[in-house]
Amino acid sequence: MISRLFSLARLGTLIAKESIQMRRDKLTFGMMLGVPLMQLVLFGFAINTDPKELPAALVAPTQDRYTRAMVTALELTDYYRFIAPDASAAEAERMIARGDVAFVVTVPSDFGRRVARGDHPTILIEADASDPSVASGAISTLSEVAADALLRETGQEAEAAQRAATQLRVAVHRRYNPEGITQYNIVPGLLGVILQLTMVMMTSMALTRETERGTMENLLSMPATPLEIMLGKIVPYLIVGAVQVAVVLLAARAMFSIPFVGSLSLLLFGVFVFVLALVILGYLISTVSRTQMQAMQLTFFFFLPSLLLSGFMFPFRGMPLWAQYLGEVFPLTHFLRLVRGVMLKGADLADVAAPLAALGIFAALLTLVTLARFRRTLD
């Protein structure tokens, strides 16, 4: 009875057929391996959430020594690069409007006098906050840098030292990524994003292709069970996924020297569960769409919010609570916790049990829905 419902031989036949078709479709096959690598290189090098050396303009009518001290201090933070060190207010305005500079630093003409008088000197930094992430790092370092620079310049070295000693200092340790290198965060995340895009998209077309080409009628008229058909479709993609994982991990190591402090086998296990959930999701999309175009649209409908809400693009804990709840429904969210935990923090099984369990539940639920949704008939 069992053998009537499930046969390894039949599954083998289905897998063999799917693999041959995959191999013959040279373009798609190339894409499956080429696209991940391309995305990794592109995004890995391009995305930087803590940008440094941003272009800035300086408006300083009187270039006295206080002004120069300020400018040097700002440049030393690495955030500012003054490409227009002696701009007029109007020029600076035009430059920031055009986007040529990200900051305009204005040191008023009475700045030196006020410092000398011990008055409250003011400098104005205008940041192009149309992209908030550009501005944040640069601005956050600002007031302290400026204050210290001035104290030193007015010869109050001792006072500066004392201020440092008596005032409350908040120590910040950037753990797991002391230099705050964006790539350490992005590249493991990219593994998830790349897998998600290719796996869901490829499998989402698996069944619709059969429907569109009319081969579904023939397939359904032969004795293959829904489970066999499903496994026959997803196993080849699991193998492709494994190759992708190897490619991305090796490239991450070679190109970005991402530290890997955790257990490799734990990571691979997590990746396996994640990919499993993805291919089943893709297959589910495949059972509900009638054309490959629909499948593609559904994939993107799912892909974009998961990219934005998973914590890949923006810090997960920074989102409003409702968005965090929404984010929990995406496998990517859990995978990101897992992969960052294992790769960067050296998390062990107990640490990542929650995301792992979540991914497992995804896979199981999706399987059930899919098998229930599968149309054994052409109705």
* 10 part of the interface to another protein, by CB under 8 A: yes
Considering the complex, what minimum distance in angstroms separates the CB of residue 376 from another protein?
A: 7
Dig out the tokens for 153 from the structure: 């310049």
Which residues between 323 and 352 bind another protein (CB under 8 A)? none
Please state, in angstroms and rounded to a whole number, the distance separating the CA atoms of residues 237 and 204: 11
Considering the complex, what minimum distance in angstroms separates the CB of residue 379 from another protein?
A: 6
Of the candidate residues 1, 4, 318, 320, the single one contacting another protein (CB under 8 A): 4
Dig out the tokens for 195 from the structure: 């897998």
* 373 part of the interface to another protein, by CB under 8 A: no
Write the single-letter amino acid at 34: G
Of the candidate residues 26, 120, 174, 376, the single one contacting another protein (CB under 8 A): 376
Dig out the tokens for 7 from the structure: 């046969």
Of the candidate residues 2, 46, 158, 378, the single one contacting another protein (CB under 8 A): 378
Q: How many helices, marked H, and strands, marked E, lie in the chain? A: 17, 4
* 372 part of the interface to another protein, by CB under 8 A: no
- Supply the DSSP string of 305-341, one letter for each residue: HHHHHSSSSS-GGGS-HHHHHHHTTSHHHHHHHHHHH
Please state, in angstroms and rounded to a whole number, the distance separating the CA atoms of residues 102 and 309: 27
Dig out the tokens for 98 from the structure: 């055009």
Q: Which C-beta is closer to another protein: that of 119 or that of 217?
A: 217
* 1 part of the interface to another protein, by CB under 8 A: no
Considering the complex, what minimum distance in angstroms separates the CB of residue 378 from another protein?
A: 5
* 221 part of the interface to another protein, by CB under 8 A: yes
Considering the complex, what minimum distance in angstroms separates the CB of residue 79 from another protein?
A: 55
Q: Which residues neighbour 184 within 8 Å (Cβ) at sequence distance 6 or greater?
A: 176, 177, 256, 258, 259, 344
* 26 part of the interface to another protein, by CB under 8 A: no
Whether 34 and 83 have beta carbons less than 8 Å apart is answered as: no
Q: Which C-beta is closer to another protein: that of 317 or that of 376?
A: 376
Considering the complex, what minimum distance in angstroms separates the CB of residue 213 from another protein?
A: 7
Write the single-letter amino acid at 297: Q
**String marking each residue 181-220 x if it binds another protein according to CB under 8 A:** --------------------------------xxxxxx-x
Considering the complex, what minimum distance in angstroms separates the CB of residue 265 from another protein?
A: 34
Residue 85, helix vs strand vs coil? coil
Pick the closest to residue 142 from 108, 105, 179, 167 (CA basis): 105
Q: Which C-beta is closer to another protein: that of 213 or that of 290?
A: 213
Q: Which C-beta is closer to another protein: that of 6 or that of 300?
A: 6
Whether 261 and 346 have beta carbons less than 8 Å apart is answered as: yes
Considering the complex, what minimum distance in angstroms separates the CB of residue 292 from another protein?
A: 15
Please state, in angstroms and rounded to a whole number, the distance separating the CA atoms of residues 338 and 274: 10
Q: What's the order of all strands across the beta sheet hosting 80-84?
A: 80-84, 54-59, 103-106, 124-127
* 222 part of the interface to another protein, by CB under 8 A: yes
Instruction: Give contact residues for another protein (rule: CB under 8 A).
Output: 4, 7, 9-10, 12-14, 16-17, 20-21, 24-25, 213-218, 220-225, 376-379
